[in-house]
Amino acid sequence: MITFLSGGTGTPKLLAGFKEIHESFSVIVNTAEDVWVSGNKICPDIDSVIYTLAGIIDEEKWWGVRGDTFKTHFRLKSLGIDEGLMIGDLDRATHIFRSELLRKGLSLTEATLRLCKAFEIRQKVIPMTDDEVSTKVITSEGEMHFQEFWVIRKGEPEVVDVRIDGIGNAKPSDEAIKAIEMSEAAIIGPSNPVTSIGPIIGIRRIRELLTGKKVIAVSPFIGDRPFSGPAGKFMRALGFSPSPEGVAEFYRDIIDILVVHNGDGFESDSCRVVETDIKIRNKKDAERLSKTILELL
């Protein structure tokens, strides 16, 4: 068994290939970007992982369901309700399914496992916690929820700090603990270290469990730039270099191996650094990178 730690874009890209060559794995997913919109709980990262493993993710955007329509979203807009996030009609059905279960008293973990079953996914997708955790971005223009910073403000404000509310008291679910305990290794996919993986390893028990395992991470940076998204801004705000070196530093004491892009190798006193092609343009790339990771493990 292998456990992945995942956000909603980089790691799902890798999982799209990994699932083709290895079946036995679970995915522990960041929940610190979850929000309630129009009465339903949206878990952006969990949804992206589920849609990826179900083979229905929109691979252009890496969120939402391929071929989805947005009729309800735009009807609501014409009625004066701006949801902020673009929510597809099929995607919304997932949110309603989840929220109905939550309203009946199921935990987020139970609701997510029901979703996995409904989507006929062989692997377990597990929220990092059932407790309320929420990422706040402190910017030069004030404090905002991660979704407001990234989706509504397009990541433009200058980032001063990142705070993960609720992380100190958050406990992993029994399923998350079991997944790590049963795994011989963990893979930290190429996700945003600060806002996607940071909350997961910010849960003390998860960090402790990982310390005893073989852990391999894939860099979301190529040279001094992330492939996409605001990871660079967040790393700088927290005092880390926005680069593979910064990633090694961020994951110090957790990872044994860091996989970086060809030419990005460096000497590290905390982990082994391995160079390969880490660009994931398509499923073939994802499979090739997955094979390399499995060989390293």
Which spans of this chain sit near ligand GDP (rule: CB under 6 A)?
7-11, 13, 45, 190-192, 196, 218-220, 226-229, 231, 278-280
**Distance of closest approach, residue 205 Cβ to ligand GDP, in angstroms:** 22
Structure tokens at 111: 């609701």
Angle formed by the axes of helices 44-53 and 108-118, nearest 10°:
30
Q: What is the 3-state secondary structure (H, E, C) of 161-210?
A: EEEEECHHHCCCCHHHHHHHHHCCEEEECCCCHHHHHHHHHCCHHHHHHH
18 vs 40: CA distance, rounded Å: 31
Question: Which CB, 178 or 224, lies closer to ligand GDP?
Answer: 224
Cβ(220)–Cβ(191) under 8 Å? yes
Question: Which CB, 58 or 178, lies closer to ligand GDP?
Answer: 58
Question: Which CB, 121 or 280, lies closer to ligand GDP?
Answer: 280
**Distance of closest approach, residue 104 Cβ to ligand GDP, in angstroms:** 28
Question: Which CB, 64 or 172, lies closer to ligand GDP?
Answer: 64
Question: Which CB, 76 or 148, lies closer to ligand GDP?
Answer: 148
Q: Within 13 Å, how many C-alpha atoms sit on residue 293's CB side?
A: 34
**Given strand 134-139, what is the order of strands in its sheet?**
142-145, 134-139, 159-165
**Distance of closest approach, residue 177 Cβ to ligand GDP, in angstroms:** 22
**Distance of closest approach, residue 22 Cβ to ligand GDP, in angstroms:** 18
Cβ(102)–Cβ(47) under 8 Å? no
Question: Which CB, 106 or 166, lies closer to ligand GDP?
Answer: 166
Residue 153's alpha-carbon distances to 85, 93, 157, in angstroms, are: 11, 26, 7
Question: Which CB, 215 or 278, lies closer to ligand GDP?
Answer: 278
22 vs 129: CA distance, rounded Å: 25
**Distance of closest approach, residue 230 Cβ to ligand GDP, in angstroms:** 8
**Distance of closest approach, residue 279 Cβ to ligand GDP, in angstroms:** 5
In single-letter form, the type of residue at position 88 comes to G
**Distance of closest approach, residue 132 Cβ to ligand GDP, in angstroms:** 18
Q: Are strands 134-139 and 159-165 parallel, antiparallel or unpaired?
A: antiparallel
Q: Are strands 25-29 and 2-6 parallel, antiparallel or unpaired?
A: parallel
SS3 for 235? helix
**Distance of closest approach, residue 273 Cβ to ligand GDP, in angstroms:** 14
Question: Which CB, 170 or 194, lies closer to ligand GDP?
Answer: 194
Cβ(205)–Cβ(23) under 8 Å? no
